[in-house]
Amino acid sequence: MNIIVCVKRVPDSGTRVRVTGDGRGIDTSGVKYVVNPYDEFAVEEAIQIREERGEGQVTALCLGPDEAEEQLRNALAMGADDAVLLEAEPPMDGLTVARELAAELEDRDFDLLLFGKQAIDDDNMQVPPMVAEILGLPCATVVVDLDVEDGRAVARREVEGGHEMVELELPAVVSTQKGLNEPRYADLKGIMAAKKKPLEKKEVELAEASTELLSMREPEEGTDGEIVGEGAEAAPELARRLHEEAKVL
Amino acid sequence: MSDVLAYAELRGSQLRGVARETVTGARRLADELGGDVHVVSVGPPGSGEEVASLADYGADRIFTAEDGEFGAYHPDALVRAFQYLADQEEYAAILFPASARGKDLAPRVAARLGRGLATEITDLEVEDGEPVVTRPTYADKAYARVGFTESPALMSIRPNVFIPEESQGSGEHEELEVDADPVRTRVSPVETSEEGKLDVAEASQVVSGGRGMQGPDNWSLLEDLVDALGPGTALGASRAVVDAGWRPHAEQVGQTGKVVSPNLYVAVGISGAIQHLAGMRTSNVIVAINKDPEAPIFDVADYGIIGDLFEVVPELTEEIRKIRGDGG
C-alpha cells in the first residue's frame, strides 16, 4: 500500500501574530516553524497503517520554501520512508496549492492520500477536497476514525452534534482531525535515520491565484472590560448587567 | 452578472439554521449588486417544501432536487447540481455555510468550477461592483481582506455572524433533476451523539470550562448554567481539559479546536492561553470567572468575576434563572 501524506510548514500555534507594516502578510522574524499539528495525525495514521499491514511505502509531500525540508525531515523521523519538496512560497489561495499538488500527484501511484484537516496559518480547509475533485477521487474530511481494508476505506467524520460514516473506494483522499490517533514523538534513532532517507526537491512555478489577498490586519484590541467584583456576592450584579446592560439574557 | 446563489443545507429533510444565515448573506450581497438570490438544495422527497420557505429570507428562485438517495449528505450529486446551475446562470457569487458540510462541499465545488474560495468569512462588501470579503487567519489572530480574480466568487460564511433577517423574495420554486449516480464518496446519515445536542460552533451562548474545573466529575455545575441560559446554549472546553480526557474534542474551543463567535461566551476556570483566546475573542459578550486576577482571559472579557468558580457559578446560575424566569 502506497500512502502519500501532505505536510505544511506553519508558524507554531503559540506564535504572537504581527501583521507587517504594509499589511501584506505577517512578520516572520523570530517565528518558530513546526509541522502543521493536524498533519501530524495524518503522518501517524500513515505509519500505523503501514505497520499494521507489514508492508507499504509512506511518502511525505510538501509545497513550501527550501526551509520546509526541516518539516519533511520531521515526518521522516516519525517514520515516513521518503519525501518530496515542491519548492515554492505557498500562497494563501487554496486552489493554487491544490492544483500544484494535483499536478505532482497525477503521475504518482498511491492508494491513500492523507492531509491534516486544515493548516493553522491560512485556515483555508480547502486543499484536500480540491485535490480530490481535480484528481477525480473520493474524499472524506475531518476524519476521527479510519478503517482501511483491501481496496476500500471507511471513515468516520465529525459533524455538528454527531458523526457520519463515509465509504471510499481506494485510491481516496482523507483529511485527519484530532482524536484519530496520538502522533508519536520522533526518537533519536528516528531522527538519525531521517537524515539518510531520500528527500527530493523540485522547483515549481505556481499558477495564477484565483483569490487575491488585499490586506491583513490584527484583531481590534481588547474590550473596555471590567471586573464586576470578587466571589459569589458579585454574581447578582453580573447577572443584572448581562440582562440590562449587555442585553444577552 | 449580479445574481447570488446560496446553498440551503439540510439534515435529513430539515433545514439547518445556517441555511437561513447563508441566504441572509446572499440577500445582502445581491442587494448591493442589484441582483436576485437563488437557492439550491439536494434532499430527500418532501424536503423541497421546507426549502421553499427561504423565500421569507429573500430567496427569489429556489431550485430543489429530491431523491430517496439524498437523505444523507451526497457530495457528488451536490457538485453536479452546483455545476449545472453555474453553467446555466452567471453568478457573481456562491455562498455556503462554514458548517462541517459546507466546509467539505465548497472546496469540491470550487475545484469543479475552477474558481477561488474564501473560507469562513466574517464580513462581506462590494467594491467596484465586485465582492470583497474579510476572513480570519491564524485562528483569528489576523484578518485578511480577500478579492476574487474571476466570478463566481465562492465563499463560506462563519455561523452566527450573518444573523437571519426576514426579507420577502419572489420565491419561484423550480424542481431540479440531479443524478444520484455515479457516487464516488458515499456518506451515511448523521448519527447524533446526543439527541438534539447543539454544536459549540453554532450555539448562540457558550459555557466553557477549563483546568480550574479540577476534574471531569464537576461538569454538572456548568450543565446547570447551560440549562439556565436556555435553548441555543452549548458546552465548550479548553484544550487542557480535552487533552486530559475530561471532555470530548468536539467541545474544544481554540486554535486546534473550534473557533466560536456566540452572542455570549462564559469562560469558567480558563486562564486564557493565546490559542484559546484566538478561538473565542470575536464573541459578542465575554464573561470570565477565574480565581487568578492576572489570568489573560480577563484581557478579552467584557465582564469578570475574580473568585472560586465553585462558589460563583451556582450563584450566577441561580440569578440567571431568576431573571429568565421573570420573563427576562
Q: What is the pLDDT of residues A158-176, one digit of tens each?
A: 898 889 999 999 999 999 9
Domain assignment present for B275: yes
Q: Rounded to whole angstroms, how far apart are CA atoms B11 and B16?
A: 6
Q: Which CATH class is domain A2-203?
A: alpha beta
Among chain B residues, the shortest Cα distance to A38 is held by B256
Are B166 and B254 part of one and the same domain? no
Q: Complex ipTM above 0.85?
A: yes
Q: How confident is the model at residue A222 (pLDDT cuts 50, 70, 90)?
A: low
Do both B159 and B221 map to the same domain?
no
Task: Tally Cβ neighbours within 10 Å of residue B133.
Answer: 25
Contact call for B301 and A225, based on CB within 8 A: yes
- pLDDT of res. B327: 46
In a domain, B32, yes or no: yes
CB B203 within 8 A of CB B232: yes
Torsion angle of the four alpha carbons B115, B120, B124, B128, in this order, in degrees rounded to the nearest 10 = -30
Predicted confidence (pLDDT) per residue in B192-216, tens digit: 876 567 889 989 999 999 999 999 9
For residues B184 and B38, what is the distance between their CA atoms, to the nearest angstrom? 27
CB contact at 8 A, B254 and B265: no
**Between chains, do B301 and A223 touch, taking CB under 8 Å as contact?**
yes
Q: How far is A209 from chain B (nearest CA, A)?
A: 8
* E strands in chain B: 3-7, 10-11, 14-15, 37-43, 61-66, 91-97, 117-121, 123-127, 130-137, 142-148, 153-157, 172-175, 185-187, 191-192, 205-209, 233-237, 264-268, 285-290, 303-306
Which residues from A are below 8 Å from B308, CB to CB?
Answer: 231-232
The grid coordinates of residue A238 equal 453580573
Yes or no, beta carbons of B108 and A133 under 8 Å apart: yes
Burial class (CB in 10 A: 0-12, 13-18, 19+), B306: buried
Whole-number percent of chain A with pLDDT over 90? 92
Which of A160, A211, A218 minimises the CB distance to B142?
A: A218
Strand B185-187 vs strand A162-169: parallel, antiparallel, or unpaired?
A: antiparallel
Residues of A in contact with B233 (CB under 8 A): none
Helices B100-113 and B75-88 cross at an angle (nearest 10°) of 50
Contact A173, A101 (CB under 8 A): no
Report the number of distinct structural domains present in chain B: 2
B163 and B268 co-located in one domain: no
End-to-end CA distance of chain A: 56
- Give just the sign of the alpha carbon dihedral A191, A195, A198, A202: positive
User: Which among A129, A214, A240 has CB closest to B147?
Assistant: A214
Q: What CATH number should be reported for the domain holding residue B292? A: 3.40.50.1220
Q: Is A105 on the interface with B (CB under 8 A)?
A: no
Helix (H) / strand (E) element for B79: namely helix B75-88
Q: Which residue of A has its CA nearest to B192?
A: A162
List Cβ neighbours of A187 (8 Å cut-off, separation of 6 or more).
Answer: none
Half-sphere exposure of A119 (CA within 13 A, CB side): 24
C-alpha distances in angstroms, B310 versus A93, B246, B306? 47, 17, 12
In a domain, residue B187? The reply is no
Q: Are B299 and A179 inside 8 Å of each other by CB?
A: no
Q: How many CB pairs under 8 A join A and B?
A: 290
Which residue in the set A13, A211, A226 is minimally distant from B147, CB to CB? A211
Q: How many CA atoms lie within 13 A of A68 on its CB side?
A: 26
Do the domain assignments include residue B254? Answer: yes
Percentage helix, strand, coil for chain A under 3-state DSSP, each rounded to 5 = 30, 35, 40
A207 touches chain B (CB under 8 A): no
Rounded Cα distance, A146 and A140, in Å: 10
- Residue A231: exposure state from Cβ atoms within 10 A (0-12, 13-18, ≥19): middle
Q: Are residues B152 and B250 in the same domain?
A: no
| Cell matching residue A176 | 485527519
Question: Is residue B195 one of the residues assigned to a domain?
Answer: no
Q: What is the pLDDT of residue B110?
A: 98
Residue B151: inside a domain: yes
What is the per-residue pLDDT across A51-107, written as a single tens digit (0 to 9) for each?
999 999 999 999 999 999 999 999 999 999 999 999 999 999 999 999 999 999 999
Q: CATH number of the domain that B102 lies in?
A: 3.40.50.620
pTM: 0.90
Helices B220-229, B309-325: inter-axial angle, 10-degree rounding: 20
The alpha-carbon gap from B172 to the nearest alpha carbon of chain A, in Å, equals 31
Q: If you ran DSSP here, which 8-state letter would residue B259 be given? A: -
Write out the residue range of the structural domain in which residue B14 sits: 3-175
Question: What is residue B282's predicted lDDT score, i.e. its pLDDT?
Answer: 87
> To the nearest whole angstrom, how far is the Cα of A58 from the nearest Cα of chain B?
24
**pLDDT tens digits in sequence order for chain B, 328 residues long:** 799 999 999 999 999 999 999 999 999 999 999 999 999 999 999 999 999 999 999 999 999 999 999 999 999 999 999 999 999 999 999 999 999 999 999 999 999 999 999 999 999 999 999 999 999 999 889 999 999 999 999 999 999 899 999 999 999 999 999 999 999 999 999 998 765 678 899 899 999 999 999 999 999 999 999 999 999 999 999 999 999 999 998 899 998 889 899 999 999 999 999 989 989 998 999 999 999 999 999 999 999 999 999 999 999 999 999 999 854 4
Among B144, B252, B256, select the one facing A92 at the smallest CB separation: B144
Three cell numbers written together for B32 = 448591493
Report how far apart, in Å, the C-alpha atoms of B9 and of each of A170, A215, B231, B236 are.
28, 31, 21, 24
DSSP β-bridge partners for residue A156 = A145, A165
Instruction: Tell me: do B10 and B118 sit in the same domain.
Output: yes
User: What's the pLDDT at B74?
Assistant: 98
Separation in Å, CA of B80 to nearest CA in chain A: 12
Q: Is residue B189 part of a domain?
A: no
Sequence spans of domains, chain A: 2-203
Query: How does DSSP classify residue B99?
Result: S
Has residue B303 been placed in a domain? yes
